[in-house]
Amino acid sequence: MKLTHILIILLALVVAGGGVYLFRPDPNKPTNTDLPPASSPVDNTIAWPPKPSGIKDVQPLKQVVRVTLKTSLGDIKLALDGSRAPKTVGNFVELAENNFYDGTTWHRVIPDFMIQGGDPFSKDQSQRTKHGTGGPGYQFEDEINAQSYGLDKQLLADAVGPAQAAQLPEEAKNMTLQQFYEAQGYRYTTSLESFPMQRGILAMANSGPDSNGSQFFIITAQSTPPLQGKHTPFGIVEAGMDVVDKISMVERDAQDNPLEPVVIQDVLVDRGAVGALQMLPSEEEQP
- Among 199, 231, 252, 257, the active-site one is 231
- Among 11, 78, 84, 113, the active-site one is 113
List the beta bridge partners of residue 81.
64
Sequence-distant (≥ 6) Cβ neighbours of residue 48 within 8 angstroms? 7, 8, 11, 13, 184
Sign of CA pseudo-dihedral 91, 224, 193, 190: negative
Note if 10 is an active site residue. no
- Among 121, 195, 217, 234, the active-site one is 217
Task: State how far the Cα of 82 lies from the Cα of 80, in Å rounded to an integer.
Answer: 6
- Among 91, 139, 206, 212, the active-site one is 206
Name residue 75's amino acid: D
- Among 11, 66, 107, 116, the active-site one is 116
Note if 206 is an active site residue. yes
List the beta bridge partners of residue 201.
236
Note if 140 is an active site residue. no
- Among 10, 35, 80, 227, the active-site one is 227
- Among 108, 131, 199, 252, the active-site one is 108
Note if 215 is an active site residue. no
Sequence-distant (≥ 6) Cβ neighbours of residue 167 within 8 angstroms? 37, 38
Note if 116 is an active site residue. yes
Task: State how far the Cα of 140 lies from the Cα of 235, in Å rounded to an integer.
Answer: 17
Note if 257 is an active site residue. no
Alpha helices in 194-253 (DSSP H): 241-248
Sequence-distant (≥ 6) Cβ neighbours of residue 72 within 8 angstroms? 261, 262, 263, 265
Note if 113 is an active site residue. yes
Task: State how far the Cα of 17 lies from the Cα of 6, in Å rounded to an integer.
Answer: 26
Task: State how far the Cα of 71 lies from the Cα of 121, in Å rounded to an integer.
Answer: 17
Q: 184: closest CA among 2, 8, 1?
A: 8
**Which residues are known catalytic residues?**
108, 113, 116, 206, 217, 227, 231
